[in-house]
Structure 1
């Protein structure tokens, strides 16, 4: 217990004054006092803590070491153990700080890619897009898609996936889509009927392949298939694979939806 002095005559700082000076909470000061890490040397007659200049110096060291990431037990050892390897403890902490900085830099780079993906949709140069998606690919499509769909949950999901992909990953996605579209054309050639087990397998495959962009529910798939049939650009693409494929795909999706208790005529994007 420190000396008991009258508050009017005591030299020292109160807990509140120390808290304001060092930028630590009163609660932290009380805790450090309770565990014996940094106790005030003086008390007023009323029992209030008063910190001397020496106490303040110790507290300052506690704050510095804490900001460097040392735990309270380690700080106590550094301050109280004359045999403690202070440079060694600081070097070890420096290594941890360096690792943390590297991790934060990687996180910052990831956030930059995520922001760019949310704004651009596709983090590939025009040359990379042409090489991966083919000479018929329109490099302005991601920007137009962002203007149309930006702000939707699906655009955010698409951007999250795009941010983590480089050219090789996009080549794999493109190969999966191309393989699926070949299977669709072969199904039409083979006379596979919408609603048949073979057609239903293709509809399930479509949902899995499309998940490379964002999760596709059955109701959303119905809406998408109808867009493929009604939109001239999409219809031209699918009918270019096989004549009538856009309509066949829409009917196959409708049949699959009905088999799962969904009325395709009332399905909405959800």
Structure 2
């Protein structure tokens, strides 16, 4: 993109080829003050100004902002982001590849959290006979007991709740680790199917839905196809589930629900 710092052009032409600070803030979902701060510290200085001195952002500026926001999402401090972006040997594609790797690692961790959330929703954990150290190893920083009240309120009177409570009370640390490993592997396979474009009602994806139903049957309670359909709907209707599934692959929650419903129809 041509710079206009030393080559004044009519204001209308500048505006056609660049964006105001307000437009960029709305597009990026951040505040104008944030953009001003990035300019003040030299992290993102717009390449153009209007004759009146207002900031104008070019395509290259917006590309840099995208990189900044991605690194911020990954937890990098601003000074470290600045150092990363100023490395002369690192191009845009290299940044994207690095961010993809970091986001993939984060998605795997989120997959583990999904499994832990499902365990909390399927049963209260007050009866789990694990030491504090073992609980940390199994659940990490996630605290299943924080969901006890909601779980009991929503499902406390159901046979599935009672069955799940009885079964999990006898689980050892090894049982919980194996359960989590199986759930994470299933989530990885679901995300891979979604990313590769396999239709949700394809037999292979329906097999993944059936594997999920079998997982619940094995570890928690008897889950028939009608109940499984209700769980699939929950993954879309409850934004907490939607968020964690979609973090593994965009649209995964709705994709998984479609697969669950298709699998239920296949069983008829």
Larger Rg: 1
- Larger RCO (alpha carbons 8 Å, 6+ apart): 2
TM normalised by structure 2 equals 0.49
TM normalised by structure 1 equals 0.49
